[in-house]
Amino acid sequence: MKILSAEQIKVCDAFTIQNEPITSIDLMERAAMACIKHIVKNASIDSEFIIFCGKGNNGGDGLAIARFLIKRNYAVKVFVVNHSDNASDDFNTNLERLKELKPESVFTIAKEEDLKQIEITSNTLVIDALFGTGLNKSLSGITALLVNFINASKIFIISIDIPSGLYADKPNDKDDVIVRCSVALSFQFPKFSFLMPQNGIYVPDFEILDIGMDKTFIQNISTPHYYITKTDLQPLLKHRAKFSHKGVYGHALLVAGAYGKMGASVIAAKACLRSGAGLLTVQTPKKGIEILQSAIPEAMVNADSSEEIITELPQMDKITAVGIGPGIGTNAETESVIKNLLNYSLPMVFDADAINILANNKTWLSFLPANSILTPHVKEFDRLTEKHINDFERLESAKQFSVKHRCILVLKGAYTQTVMPDGNVFFNSTGNAGLAKGGSGDTLTGIILGLLARGYTPPQAALIGVYLHGSAADSCLKKIHIESLLATDVIAKIPKAFEKLYE
């Protein structure tokens, strides 16, 4: 699914209106009806709605929603904020329609004293329709006062298309006043700003509503940003042939673990085997042999000459993909293993301490095999590059890094960002905060390694791996509370994640 800029969304609206053809007011009706389906589904019969409307088209959406709610016999109050002398034509049309239906439902806010007429109860649902994606300056005056009032109410807030005050595709200033919604109902596309970690307090959740914008236009328009869903990945999936054997599905090498950190290698190895690799060899310190062979009988183990750390690679002639990093530490002898590995042109995934070693030896980055996959979290990426002012700047830095080093960068977090060597960015749609726990990164490394060994290209393995990882974590929440989620729980749900992806 493509993620468009605010300007591209505007052009898409205009193209749809001209070529469907459909009038702008009827497209607004369609958008409002799509919102109603979600709003009513999440409201109770005694819910009371307060809708705050600006005087542009976002406010027009709010007025149309108010009308549909009133027709469904909900108690509705609409507060139009008089922030400008100008109003859009569609806003004016919908205001007249609402006044014809129920004029006593419409109130005006022009000054701070007018906020006193707003009464919020425990049954109230607030709908924010003040400003949409066309906003290009910070909120001030009466709108800023109103937004602060809304946020202070601590009530359930539904933002229409985008929380008012939030820019669609650029960072806000740190002091900007922005609605902190409970959920945003986003028309046709997720907004780029929704996916930036710094905006999580404003958009903790969003729903994408299909409002029938022109599919041909969307297909042909160019963007570097995508939101990955199941339907995007299904054409990439491989199927296991009836007459096949383990050798067909690759031989993975996992270089992981050190004394006191053997759990990382166990977790990554289990995830690798659950992800389809035909064979797996784990390079481990001597003290890890019994742990690994007891925990994962399906894996082969190669003992390092060192008792406690990894200092060497095994025979590489039969290896088809390599994963390195979980729990290995950053000893000088282990650093030499990374340097040696760069001589091989195999599909590789670098994680955890492997990334920290690269960060300590930045000249080695030039020798990464093309399409190598690096899976840093934010702090690890900043060690690779530099500290960043905000998440928008960090993503631009990630694009430059991936292009320069011809690698695939998996920047882990909510909506994990997979950055390709051509500068395209793919945001993941699965996963939850239960993954914010030790072992989650090891699980992801194992999944991606298994897919690489299985025969997926590095871009495919990165995208599918990130999606499966999040999907498995989501499946866990049906029986395990988000606070209690463990990496081993996620591994146990990898089969379910595959099942859902293949459906």
Residue 41 has pLDDT above 90, yes or no: no
Indicate the length of the chain as a whole number.
Answer: 503
Contact at 8 Å (CB) between 310 and 255? yes
Q: What angle do CA 271, 277, 280 make, to 5 degrees?
A: 80
Ramachandran angles phi, psi of 216, nearest 5°: -65, -40
Write the pLDDT tens digit of every residue in 187-204: 999 999 999 999 999 999
Percent pLDDT > 70 in the chain is: 100
Please give the mean pLDDT across all residues of the chain: 97
Q: Following CA atoms 126, 40, 229, 269 in sequence, which dihedral angle do they give, to the nearest 10 degrees?
A: 80
Q: In this predicted structure, what is the pLDDT of residue 89?
A: 97
Write the pLDDT tens digit of every residue in 65-102: 999 999 999 999 999 999 999 999 999 999 999 999 99
Write the pLDDT tens digit of every residue in 99-114: 999 999 999 999 999 9
d(CA 56, CA 62) in angstroms, rounded, equals: 10
Residue 42 has pLDDT above 90, yes or no: no
Q: In this predicted structure, what is the pLDDT of residue 474?
A: 98
d(CA 114, CA 119) in angstroms, rounded, equals: 11
Q: Considering only CA atoms, which of 227, 203, 191, 160 is closest in space to residue 4? A: 191
Write the pLDDT tens digit of every residue in 253-287: 999 999 999 999 999 999 999 999 999 999 999 99
d(CA 217, CA 23) in angstroms, rounded, equals: 17
Q: What's the Cα-to-Cα distance from 150 to each of 156, 203, 425, 469, 502, rounded to whole Å? A: 10, 15, 34, 36, 43
Q: In this predicted structure, what is the pLDDT of residue 186?
A: 98
d(CA 83, CA 81) in angstroms, rounded, equals: 6
Where does the pLDDT of residue 150 fall: very low under 50, low under 70, confident under 90, or very high at 90 and above? very high
Ramachandran angles phi, psi of 167, nearest 5°: -75, 150
Q: What's the Cα-to-Cα distance from 431 to each of 348, 422, 435, 486, rounded to whole Å? A: 24, 25, 7, 13
- Reported as half-sphere exposure (CB side, CA atoms, 13 A), residue 395 has a value of 25
- Reported as half-sphere exposure (CB side, CA atoms, 13 A), residue 319 has a value of 25
Write the pLDDT tens digit of every residue in 325-380: 999 999 999 999 999 999 999 999 999 999 999 999 999 999 999 999 999 999 99
| pLDDT average, residue stretch 159-163 | 98
- Domains (range + CATH), the chain: 6-223 (3.40.50.10260), 245-502 (3.40.1190.20)
